[in-house]
Amino acid sequence: MPHPAPNRPLNPRRIGVIAMHTFTQLVRMKVFYFLGVFAVILLASNLFNIQSIDRPNLEGVEVLRSIRNFSLGTMTIFSVVLGIVATALLLPKDVEDRTLYTILAKPVPRLDYLVGKLGGLLLLIFASLLVMDLLMIGVLALRTHFIVEAQAASALRAGWPADEIAALRLETGKQGPSWDLQVAVLAVFLRGVVISSTALMLSILSTSTLFTTITGFIVYFIGNFQATAREVYFDAKGVSAMERIAGLAVATIFPDLQLYNVIDKIIAGKIVPPGTVTTLCGVTAFYLVLHLFVSWLIFSKKEF
């Protein structure tokens, strides 16, 4: 029975080895310090004595909403900063340690090297967000229980009817742990995937860590505002077909990160439209494949 060529591209075992090595390499860079600070702050927020949470006027809802907002915001910052900075460090560090020469001399296909490196980084982001998510759920569950019970007791003393107390419990409980909240966490991770793949492409263009880091953050900010700018520009009269094509090209090169702002709707308690997860996964897969393909084209022509 013929065996596949040992150096054929996209070998799952080889990619897995590179990914786990990258995961370990990033952990040794002490990136989990940020995770530790997040855990302490988040757990401490459960001990804060926030006034008036027992009043039956939905002030407790704002307390829970602020916890959700803070937690998801911290996850976003963590995934974006880690995705850009860690990717900017990976290739230069492998060149400096001569690890890259050893890997490519095996020979290991360059596509496998890129996929493995990105896979290790995404594994670290996923694991970190998972821990943060569990902490957020735990804090929200405790705070929701305390606030709901305090509000219900206060409303009962004030003589509220049973149906209004039940409605109050339901309204406050919506700001606790929910499946929609998990959609928001998934959106944070998917945005981290796009940012990381973009940073990988930039790091291949230039092995300068500073260039990749600065350009990565510029692309991130452009991606957050390009949809608004495109809408204003294309709504104006006199826009030619070539200008529209140019705008589409910009949207392809710079990821439209406003698509991931479904997080804001979830924090506000709005219903997530059906198909949102499918759309986000599809867009993320498109950018991931595109960035990996461009990175491979550039990387395959580089001499080390």
More confident: 228 or 290: 290
Enumerate the H helices of the chain as residue ranges: 12-27, 32-45, 59-96, 99-104, 110-157, 162-173, 179-205, 209-235, 241-253, 262-267, 276-299
Q: Tell me what the mean pLDDT of segment 169-176 comes to.
A: 83
Domains of the chain, by residue range, sit at: 12-299
More confident: 14 or 46: 14
Name the band, by pLDDT with cuts 50, 70 and 90, for residue 294: very high
More confident: 31 or 252: 252
Question: According to the model, what pLDDT value does residue 25 have?
Answer: 87
Question: According to the model, what pLDDT value does residue 217 have?
Answer: 94
Residue 151 has pLDDT above 60, yes or no: yes
More confident: 300 or 233: 300
Dihedral Cα 20, 188, 249, 116, nearest 10 deg: 0
Backbone angles phi, psi at 49, to 5 degrees: -95, 85
Residue 84 has pLDDT above 90, yes or no: yes
Question: According to the model, what pLDDT value does residue 57 have?
Answer: 52
Question: According to the model, what pLDDT value does residue 152 have?
Answer: 83
Tell me: the pLDDT tens digits for 28-76? 876 667 666 776 676 666 556 444 444 445 567 788 888 888 888 888 9
- Average pLDDT score, the chain: 82
Enumerate the H helices of 158-271 as residue ranges: 162-173, 179-205, 209-235, 241-253, 262-267
Check the CA dihedral 91-95-101-103 and report its sign.
negative
Query: Which 8-state DSSP code applies to residue 256?
Result: -
Check the CA dihedral 211-214-219-220 and report its sign.
positive
Cα–Cα distance measured from residue 26 to residue 262, given in angstroms and rounded to the nearest whole number = 29
Q: Which of 116-120, 185-189, 249-253, 269-273 has the lowest mean pLDDT?
A: 249-253
Question: According to the model, what pLDDT value does residue 52 have?
Answer: 45
Three-class SS of residue 240?
coil
Residue 188 has pLDDT above 90, yes or no: yes
Check the CA dihedral 122-70-254-89 and report its sign.
negative
Question: According to the model, what pLDDT value does residue 35 have?
Answer: 65
Both tokens of residue 303? 């001499």
Tell me: the pLDDT tens digits for 96-149? 878 787 877 778 889 999 999 999 999 999 998 998 898 889 888 888 888 888
Q: Tell me what the mean pLDDT of segment 175-193 comes to.
A: 92
Question: According to the model, what pLDDT value does residue 153 have?
Answer: 84
